[in-house]
Amino acid sequence: MGVSVTERIGGGCLCGDIRYAISGDAQLHFCSRCGSNLWGATEVGLTSVAAGSLDDPELFQPDRAVFLHEAPTWARVPEGMA
């Protein structure tokens, strides 16, 4: 999922060892303790955030699906994203 970051967004890894606030260029990518994916810069002005690391995962809705060829057969892909 990619979003243009224009406001401060908070989140953290699964174990709670790392907390982050996004308000500019990405600097952290994953937690070195538990390996949780966090976030990273993908293009100028675009940041990719691991939705599961957000404090409020309902904050954003997906607008594309990636790596569908790796999805398990039971995975549900929202209509229009395949």
One-letter identity of residue 1: M
Looking at residue 46, its pLDDT comes to 67
Residue pointed to by tokens 């594309």: 64
> Pick the residue with more confidence: 29 or 24?
29
> Residue 66: enclosing H or E segment and its boundaries?
none
> Pick the residue with more confidence: 68 or 28?
68
> Pick the residue with more confidence: 43 or 74?
74
Query: Sorting pLDDT into bands at 50, 70 and 90, what band is 28?
Result: low
What backbone phi and psi angles, to 5 degrees, belong to 53? -95, -10
